[in-house]
Amino acid sequence: MLTSRRLAILATCLSLALPAGAAAQRDAPATALRNPVEIADGRRLNVVCAGDRGPSIIFANGLGSSVLDWRQVQGEVARFARACVYDRAGSGYSDPSPHPSSASFVVEDLRALLDRGFVKKPVVIVGHSAGGLFATLYAERYPTDVAGLVLVDPSLTNQFRDWTRRYPAQRRRTLPILQKGKALLARCARLAQDGQLTLARPSICTRAVGLSPAGGYSSAELAYLSHQALNPAFYQTLIAEEEAALPFKGETDQNSVDESRERQSLGDIPVTVLTSGVRGINGVSATPEEEAAWREFWRGGHERLARKSSRGQAVELPNAGHLIQKDDPAAVVAAIRKVIAQGVAETRRR
């Protein structure tokens, strides 16, 4: 993301909507979304799987997102595959990491998780936003682990640097918003640490994790969101991930893990990149010219990403925003089916 959707939400006091498909989860037990798996040094990552046949699918969240964002897609994919969502370190029910936040550590955590045997490799990784960046890096680093990639409006390598070099005014407008959001997250972390956040008194902090005063959650969703809203590690992790992904100083960002990555091939791994057709520049005022240029920048970056594989394609969804998995879940499911079919066809040829 060029600007942080989550920080923009915090800065403007907006709340997230109830996850799609919540009504279907109404009778799930409160522990339904909690399944910690130990990976290293006693640290645990939370993973929730559905389906027990077919290929293995792992979903990677965007920054500040959660397993709930995939509920509608996961339920459908579980009909024909083993579909697993997980919380990165410090989010949801996962333990925080002692390491500085970086794309490299996210990749190594995911590999350690996949090595625990709850899925069969190779896997199809479905990554949204920054999760798409992490998924791509994983496939570059461990190609034999990956049967395919579905990248859902993914972040781009060096996107903040490259975009703001073209439009310096965007940098000047963006940084104050990011800094304000960072300060709000830090305040939420302090309040949580001091036990001053309560569910009985909704705040910008509880709204930021998706807890709406309207309620209507299943017991499992309420337990999950409540844990996240009152956990100081969640806000601290968000700060670390946002600082890694979007610079507050200088020109570098987390997406520039290695400049050579832009030239690295994904070989013949099946790759589908889904692009939002209506996404604008989140949280930042822009001229019509800048909005049009941003959409072209975003679309072009996704097309280049798809070309890194000999079996890559980019698909623009004209009516979907950045949260494609909520706006057009059928398109995400169809992309997963196609990538699986490509992988099966390749296996048969061999």
Q: Please determine, for residue 74, whether its predicted confidence score (pLDDT) is greater than 90.
A: yes
Neighbouring CB atoms inside 10 A of 69's CB total 24
pLDDT at 24 (0 to 100)? 37
Residues paired with residue 56 on neighbouring β-strands, in sequence order: 82, 123
Query: DSSP readout, 270-305?
Result: -EEEEEESS---TTS---HHHHHHHHHHHHHHHHHH
Neighbouring CB atoms inside 10 A of 344's CB total 13
Q: Domain ranges in the chain?
A: 5-349
pLDDT at 11 (0 to 100)? 42
Asked if 96 and 236 touch (Cβ cutoff 8 Å), the reply is: yes
Distance CA 218, CA 224 (A): 10
* Reported confidence tier of residue 339, pLDDT bands at 50, 70, 90: very high
- Which run of H or E residues covers position 43? strand 43-50
219-251 confidence digits (pLDDT tens): 898 899 889 989 999 999 988 887 766 554 444
The model's pTM is 0.86
- Give the CA distances from residue 108 to residues 112, 240, 241, in Å, rounded to whole numbers and listed in that order: 6, 17, 15
Neighbouring CB atoms inside 10 A of 249's CB total 7
Q: Please determine, for residue 62, whether its predicted confidence score (pLDDT) is greater than 80.
A: yes
179-215 confidence digits (pLDDT tens): 888 899 999 999 999 999 887 777 888 777 767 666 6
pLDDT at 215 (0 to 100)? 64
**What phi, psi does 317 have (nearest 5°)?**
-105, 105
Neighbouring CB atoms inside 10 A of 256's CB total 18
pLDDT at 263 (0 to 100)? 54
Identify the CA nearest to 64 among candidates 185, 202, 230, 226. Answer: 185
Q: Residue range 255-276: average pLDDT?
A: 76
Higher pLDDT, 114 or 159: 114
Q: Please determine, for residue 281, whether its predicted confidence score (pLDDT) is greater than 70.
A: no
pLDDT at 12 (0 to 100)? 38
- Fold (topology level) of 5-349: Rossmann fold (3.40.50)
Mean pLDDT of the chain: 83
